[in-house]
Structure 1
Amino acid sequence: MPSQPDDRHARTRVPIHPPIAARWSPRAFDPEATVTAEQLTALLEAARWAATWGHRQPVRYVVGVRADEAFTTIAGLLRRGNSYAHAAGALILVCADQGEDERTALYSAVDAGAAIANLSVEAVARGLIAHPMAGFDVDGASAAFALPEEVRPLAVVAVGSLGDYTRVAPEIAERDGRPRERLPLDQIVLNWSGAGFPKFPELGDDPVVE
């Protein structure tokens, strides 16, 4: 296994914003690298300015930097399969204030997803990596951080710098080295302006990035 997997850029039919094409979810974090306060602030600002339903702004965060109390607590809540994230520079618990009605609860989760996407792309733009995870003790997180009943933990995002794949478990290296795949557009775009399926350009052999 090389120190880093081969090119991980998304293969797209037309060029897209480079940090989006370059975004993926590595599991190899550099345990020596740090995430600065400025970098973390930038990621949280990017998340804060994500689209929000009805201007509700329901997304909440608990931020831990490696070795501080919040980080240690969040790391201890991760399922065993996510233990690689203990080497991250920061762990961000993403929560949603579900409010008092069903629609707010539904769209608070949508807002949280948008915030995680913004945060992840900002991380790539700053030379960092980010890996969102759902495998953690939700009830334990609520108790550990004394979250109000309506604030539900949804995901943990590990942030840091890409590590050396020769030093990670073989199963992680193998999984992260697999080709990146997504369903083709003609399977996920159900209709385009009422005219049926568009004629999408064919994918080439190489990633289409700028």
Structure 2
Amino acid sequence: MTIADTTSRHADTTAPLIGALVERWSPRAYDPSAVVSDETLRTVLEAARWAPSANNTQPWRFIVARRGTEAFTTVHDALLGFNQAWADSAAALIVNVAELADAEGAERRWARYDLGQAVAHYSVQAQHEGLHSHQMGGFDGARLREAFDLGERFEPVSVTAVGVLGDPDSLPEALREREVAPRQRKSLDEFVVVA
């Protein structure tokens, strides 16, 4: 696969979907020289702002760390395993944080779910803007909580790499194979129950 040959990564859907969903996938190869403008990042995060949440609590926070900054190094260094091998080429690493309790200590039971919706919204908007994103769960949350002085009611839930698609040949062999492998999904029949 070459950078120009991204149509091979499009979802083979059984129903018509909007373009950004068909084109969305999670690469590991990012262009290490590409810069995402402030305006584009703002647009991506505006999509998260308008995600639905329980009682409109909007229990999410985002730490945006741009490549080349101290914050980026902090987030990158908190990544675990092979995530560190590729994430340094992304234009930004975004720490997705759930607010698990309000300022008075009342539990926000749906905070992680709501955060997930906000991240999904910004992932689709990023795709629409010509960017790609990749969600990661392999990171040291305690390290990020301490580094960014997050209180106990805030939990780093995931980290998202955002950037411009790069050359898969830049990846280590094992990751390169995963990058170009055919995409697979379960069929709707495997997880949808129509009552």
Q: Computing the radius of gyration over CA atoms, which structure comes out larger, 1 or 2? A: 1
5+ residue gaps, structure 2, are: none
Q: Show the counterpart of 1:207.
A: none
Describe the superposition over 1:135-171 as per-residue Cα deviations: whole angstroms up to 9, x where unpaired. 1110000000000110000000110000011222111
Q: Aligned pair 1:96/2:98, yes or no?
A: yes
- Secondary structure of the residue aligned to 2:82 is helix
CA apart distance, 1:20: 0.6
Q: Show the counterpart of 2:163.
A: 160
Q: Show the counterpart of 2:144.
A: 141
Partner residue of 2:128 out of 103, 121, 125? 125
The answer to whether the 8 A contact 1:96-1:153 is kept is yes
Matched to 2:69, the amino acid is D
5+ residue gaps, structure 1, are: 195-210
Q: Show the counterpart of 2:60.
A: 59
CA apart distance, 1:80: 2.7
Which structure has more RCO (C-alpha within 8 Å, separation ≥ 6)? 1
> What's the TM-score, normalizing by structure 1?
0.86
Task: Among all aligned residue pairs of Structure 1 and Structure 2, give the percentage whose two residues are the same amino acid.
Answer: 41
- Secondary structure of the residue aligned to 2:88 is helix
Change beyond 3 A, Cα 1:6–1:44: closer
- Secondary structure of the residue aligned to 1:7 is helix
Q: Show the counterpart of 1:150.
A: 153
Q: Show the counterpart of 1:178.
A: 181
Runs of 4 or more, structure 1, over 4 Å off, are 1-6
Q: How many residues align?
A: 190
Find the aligned partners of 2:124 and 2:189 in 1 and give their Cα distance.
25
- Secondary structure of the residue aligned to 2:135 is strand
> What's the TM-score, normalizing by structure 2?
0.93
Provide the alpha-carbon RMSD of the alignment. 1.4
Find the aligned partners of 1:24 and 1:122 in 2 and give their Cα distance.
13
Find the aligned partners of 1:6 and 1:56 in 2 and give their Cα distance.
38
The answer to whether the 8 A contact 2:168-2:179 is kept is no
Q: Show the counterpart of 1:199.
A: none
